[in-house]
């Protein structure tokens, strides 16, 4: 029987190949939840996005038919389900070329209390070259957080 090399552990990536889209007005970054369970939208903190080295000054989350400043997500009542994407309107257009995307944020995991000061807060950083409007595979079809 041949010896199999151990597989590397799966990494939950927030930036899928189809994460960057441009709707003609401006770009939207659709991020996946890099955690094993659904979390309240209020768990999302300190969101920062860079496109081609330029920091996006004030991305806004698209929650259903509402636009919410990312700094205000901490009071949102909804849920970010593991199969959904959190859509961030970036306030600037991008062309169909490849773009260096950098995304950082923190997640507060409300059911993992680390002491009297509150829940476990996890830092996340993702970097990936993305093409706006990359084709979506049938396996990757998701809906946006509403």
What is the tens place of the pLDDT at every residue in 41-97? 999 999 999 999 999 999 999 999 999 999 999 999 999 999 999 999 999 999 888
Residue 134: CB partners within 8 Å, gap ≥ 6?
A: 17, 18, 20
Q: Is residue 144 part of a domain?
A: no
Give the chain's domain count: 1
- Residue 29 belongs to domain spanning: 20-130
**DSSP tag of 144:** B
3-state secondary structure of 56: coil
Q: Is residue 81 part of a domain?
A: yes
**Average pLDDT value over all residues in the chain:** 88
Q: Is residue 6 part of a domain?
A: no
Q: Is residue 113 part of a domain?
A: yes
This prediction's pTM: 0.85
3-state secondary structure of 82: coil
Asked if residue 20 lies in contact with residue 99, where contact means CB atoms within 8 angstroms, the answer is yes
Q: Is residue 68 part of a domain?
A: yes
Q: Is residue 5 part of a domain?
A: no
Burial readout 14-26 (b: 16 or more C-beta within 10 A, e: otherwise): bbbebbbbbeeee
Percent of the chain beyond pLDDT 70? 86
């Amino acid at each position: 029987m041949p010896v199999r090399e151990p597989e590397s552990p799966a990494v939950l990536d927030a930036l899928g190949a189809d994460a960057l889209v441009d709707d003609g007005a401006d770009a939207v970054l659709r991020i996946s939840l890099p955690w094993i369970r659904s979390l309240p939208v209020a768990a999302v903190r300190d969101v920062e996005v860079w496109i081609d080295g330029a920091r996006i000054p004030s991305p806004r989350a698209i929650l259903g038919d509402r636009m919410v400043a990312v700094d205000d997500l901490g009071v949102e009542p909804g849920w970010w389900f593991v199969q959904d994407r959190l859509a961030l309107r970036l306030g600037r257009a991008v062309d169909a070329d490849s773009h260096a995307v950098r995304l950082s944020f923190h997640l507060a995991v409300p059911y993992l209390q680390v002491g009297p000061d509150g829940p476990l807060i996890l830092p996340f950083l993702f970097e990936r070259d993305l093409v706006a409007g990359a084709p979506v595979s049938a396996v990757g079809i998701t809906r946006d957080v509403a």
